[in-house]
Structure 1
Amino acid sequence: MQWLHIGELEIELHRKEIKNLHLSVLPPDGKIRVSAPVIMSDTAIRMAVISRIPWIKKQQSTFFNQSRQSVREMVSGECHYIWGKKYRLNIVATSGQHRIECSHANRLDMYVHATTSTQNKQKLLEAFYRMQLQEKLNLRCSSLLTKIGVEPSFIGIRKMKTRWGSANPLSKRIWLNLELAKKPVECLEFILVHELVHLIERHHNDRFVMYMDQFLPQWRERKALLNSLPLTS
């Protein structure tokens, strides 16, 4: 990896055995990443980036103006989201096993020992989100795999800073961002279909768009919904 500087822009450059240059502006802070063919000169890369500066600025502006969730202190009354729905956290002291329960009154009851640290409360909440996300995947994966006609070797969940998901067409491994458990379930379906299609078509080209239109006609609306929601701090 190396860094390029064009005016005030700092670009993370990766040279790979690929045919075409790929430029991305990544959430949450608008970082610019370029993947370029090994044989492509620095001058050619610079010219390609310069030609897309208006688009880069527009993407960065979207991220900079997007609302963000406040830092979580894990105290009663704090707001947390599960599948796009807002819940008020309610800390309940217990001598028993730590657990989280969702009430019908939009309350998220977290049962923990009185001395439990903020960090351990956060870990408990992340485990809860992981369980929620896995349950949704178990319900939706089978029908989508049949519909798209692919068979991933692995679908995992992890915290990701700059992507909602990733796919490796060679190993057929897919990773999904744990944060998706906070967003409406339609957003999860969009990202899942997006990554499954990448097992068929690596690049965001016309063929990729054709598959997205075929397997999830509403994908543009769902992408817009996901992009409109608060980012994690």
Structure 2
Amino acid sequence: MNIERQNLSVGGIDVEVVRKPIKNLHLGVYPPSGRVRVAVPPSVNDEAIRLAVVTRMGWIKRQRNKFEEQARQSARAYVSGETHYYFGVPYRMRLVRKSGGSMVSVAGDRIELSVPANADRDFRERAFQRWQRDRLRERVEPLVGHWSETLGVQRPKAGIKRMRTKWGSCNPIGGRVWINLEMAKKPPACLDYLVCHELAHFIERSHGDRFIALLDRYLPNWRTLRDELNREPLAHEEWSAGLA
């Protein structure tokens, strides 16, 4: 797929422009900073893009204001007393230093992180994120199987990685779906929506009417789940949602 990218300034707002083989213009505003992205067919010129952005400037500003008000987590030190989200539920962390390797367990309203006595902050983060990755994969694999069968597409391979601009991504040609590690913090229903969203792209690559019709048919409450995901507390890092 031929994709061209450029940046335009419209009314003091930086706009990311993506030209690719699609039929219609699609404009989106993404958290946390209100990044504006316009996807257009290759034939659409810069003036048409500027007009589309100016026409929807009021909506863009309202979306940006909502993101500014969204809750954000402080930087994590992975020490006792911190709150960490695990599939949408807040838990208090208890840090235990002992000999041996690292381990994470959940009991009641606590997440216990056990690490060697000399483990620094980066070691604790890596240990905790390995655990998050494993738990997320356990949930992703059945969902990929379910939605592959439901949508009638060949089951792709699923990977977990940290992404700075999207909750998930896919490569239909390569048969691969990627899920943002941050989804280990989000409610299970939002993860279900995300996997459905990405696998629907194996049928329709754009976010056009056909794609929306697929979500409406197979996951009628997808808009509610999308909005819930976008309202979830953002990590200290600059994450943003790249979903329709």
Settle same-fold status: TM greater than 0.5. yes
TM-score (normalised: structure 2) = 0.88
How far is 1:17 from its partner?
Answer: 4.1
Matches within 5 A, 1:28-47: 28-47=32-51
How far is 1:8 from its partner?
Answer: 1.8
Farther off after superposition, 221-230 or 35-44 = 35-44
Match of residue 93 from structure 2: 89
How far is 1:209 from its partner?
Answer: 2.0
How far is 1:37 from its partner?
Answer: 3.1
SS in 2 for 1:163: coil
Hey, what's the Cα distance between the residues in 2 that align with 1:20 and 1:170?
A: 22
Hey, what's the Cα distance between the residues in 2 that align with 1:66 and 1:226?
A: 12
Match of residue 134 from structure 2: 131
The counterpart of 1:116, out of the listed 105, 113, 119, is 119
Give percent identity, aligned residues only: 41
Match of residue 156 from structure 2: 153
SS in 2 for 1:217: coil
Q: Is the 8 A contact 1:167 1:198 kept in 2?
A: yes
Q: Which amino acid aligns with 1:85?
A: V
Deviations 1:112-139 (A, max 9, x none): 1121111111111111111111001233
Hey, what's the Cα distance between the residues in 2 that align with 1:154 and 1:119?
A: 29
- 2:13 maps to 1:9: yes
Distance change (3 Å), C-alpha of 1:199 and 1:209? same
Q: CA RMSD in A?
A: 1.7
TM-score (normalised: structure 1) = 0.92
**Higher RCO, 1 or 2 (CA under 8 Å, sep at least 6)?**
2
- 2:197 maps to 1:194: yes
Farther off after superposition, 86-95 or 9-18 = 9-18
Farther off after superposition, 200-209 or 106-115 = 200-209
Deviations 1:14-63 (A, max 9, x none): 33344433322122111112233333322122112212212211221221
Gaps of 5+ in 1: none
- 2:208 maps to 1:205: yes
Q: Is the 8 A contact 1:4 1:10 kept in 2?
A: yes
Deviations 1:137-178 (A, max 9, x none): 233332222111112432211112221111233333221111
Hey, what's the Cα distance between the residues in 1 that align with 2:171 and 2:141?
A: 21
Distance change (3 Å), C-alpha of 1:141 and 1:13? closer
Gaps of 5+ in 2: 237-244
> How many residues in Structure 1 have an aligned counterpart in Structure 2?
232
